[in-house]
Amino acid sequence: MAKPDKARTTAVALITDVMENAKLLSDLTFGPKFLALSSAERARAQRLATECLRTIERADRILNTYLQKKPPIRILNILRLATFELSTGGDAHGVVNDAVTIAAMDRKHAMFKGLVNAVLRKVAKSGPEQWAKLRAARIPIWLRRPLKEVYGGEVISAIERVQSNIPPVDLTPKDPNRAEEIASLLSGEVVLGQSVRLNAPGQISKLYGFDRGEWWVQDAAAALPVRLLGDTRGRTALDLCAAPGGKTLQLAALGATVTAIDVSERRLKRLTQNLERTGLNADIKVMDLFALQEGQFDVIVLDAPCSATGTMRRHPDLPYAKDGSEFLNLIELQRKMLRHALGLLAPNGRLVYCTCSLLPDEGEAQVEALITENVQIEIDPGTFQHPNVDPTWVVDDLGLRLRPDYLAEQGGMDGFFITLLHKKG
């Protein structure tokens, strides 16, 4: 029997681990089996797994026509991946043959290879036409309900439409003044003033400027918090919860003297690699931010651990790896982190607080509680005066609320809450 495509085999394993064991793809891609693949195989396996997870609701609607009862989860995921590929232009012969072979690789499931073959041959004929008619996948009910209460059904439907599409790739130029030039060279467009957006980038490491370190990958919304700070040349800056490091790179490129802290040595490796590639400098420390007791920094960035509910357009594994049970603990952690970070801020210093969450409890409510209890802290007007900030994004004069459906015609953006705080002298 011919060996199946390694990327497809790996993608099935990744999807099953996410759905059966509530693992995140970002963690699974550090596993030894995944890392043993070639760089091209890793990229393709991750793409297949990500896009299958994004479209599972569509795949299941098609498969339900041909399945009398659900098979074991691994077989179902083989069918889901193949249905996604068949319905979006995949070669029927290769996709079906590989699916059958992958099913037969596990003795417990070998008996299902006939079912896999029969179902997918039907999908190959009907799938593409059905696929185009199916609605965008819905946010899971445990999250959809509270978000609908905040934003209303129309906004949630708009977010779901954006999240059903493959998101573009955003780059942050090392020199913001070169954004238009880099966009032209890469056939992209500039969004939010200084980010370069690519709709079909291909292999990132092969793009113009990668080897010379002229840019790094960073969602346009994630790049906005540091931009609110304006000129930071010569300032001492602290990036808390820094990994994977986009904000550290921004601060360093703007001329700040940067200290970057994160508890994850593994995730900080990407920052180290990007610093080397871009020729930028930062003092990286692997430590818990609460262990940092000394120092008074001119600028602090706290992108706090959160539910990450604003990033589902790029991380469709999140609805399957989370269920909302950790929210209360995260909200309390954010509260403690924010207050500890303010203790490290010099008088007249400024602190950016942000979370890639759509939940007000992780954003607006945190800041409102803080300024009520601490008269030394005020919201910096610079939060609202940036030239690339739409006035409609300002919420209750507390900060900026970014949503995935903003810039929808250009591919959307991550959901964020961002504010800039000033410590009185």
**What predicted TM-score, i.e. pTM, was given to this entire model?**
0.92
pLDDT tens readout for residues 32-47? 999 999 988 999 999 9
Q: Are residues 220 and 120 in the same domain?
A: no
Q: Are residues 31 and 115 in the same domain?
A: yes
Does any domain span residue 229? yes
Q: Are residues 124 and 222 in the same domain?
A: no
CA distances from 391 to 310, 388, 402 (A): 20, 9, 11
**What would the two tokens of residue 32 be?**
């030894």
The residues, any chain, with a CB within 8 Å of residue 359's CB and separated by 6 or more, are 146, 147, 150, 306, 307, 309, 327
pLDDT tens readout for residues 188-233? 999 998 999 999 888 899 999 999 999 999 999 999 999 999 999 9
Query: What is the per-residue pLDDT for 323?
Result: 87
Spatial distance between the Cα atoms of 378 and 375, rounded to a whole number of angstroms:
7
Q: Are residues 272 and 386 in the same domain?
A: yes
Spatial distance between the Cα atoms of 160 and 313, rounded to a whole number of angstroms:
9
**What would the two tokens of residue 109 be?**
């499931």
Query: What is the per-residue pLDDT for 36?
Result: 93
Does any domain span residue 159? no
Does any domain span residue 156? no
Q: Are residues 83 and 214 in the same domain?
A: no
Give the angle 407-408-410 at the CA atoms, nearest 5°.
Answer: 70
Q: Which of 101, 131, 161 marks a domain boundary?
A: 131
Collapsing DSSP to helix, strand or coil, 367 comes out as helix
CATH number of the domain to which 193 belongs: 3.40.50.150
Of the candidates 135, 16, 138, 130, the one whose C-alpha atom is nearest the C-alpha of residue 83 is 130
CA distances from 273 to 102, 202, 280, 340, 367 (A): 35, 21, 10, 29, 34
Q: Is the dihedral of CA 178, 179, 184, 185 positive or negative?
A: positive
Q: Which of 131, 156, 186 marks a domain boundary?
A: 131
Residue 50: give the domain boundaries. Answer: 6-131
Q: Are residues 252 and 117 in the same domain?
A: no
Number of domains the chain is built from: 2
Does any domain span residue 158? no
Comparison of pLDDT for 361 and 132, the residue scoring more: 361
Catalytic residue among 52, 306, 354, 356: 356
Q: pLDDT confidence of 251, banded at 50, 70, 90?
A: very high
Does any domain span residue 151? no
Partners of 418 in the β-ladder: 354, 400
Annotated active-site residue 241? The verdict is no
CATH number of the domain to which 34 belongs: 1.10.940.10
Q: Which of 79, 106, 131 marks a domain boundary?
A: 131
Q: Are residues 290 and 419 in the same domain?
A: yes
Mean pLDDT of 278-304: 95
Q: Are residues 78 and 21 in the same domain?
A: yes
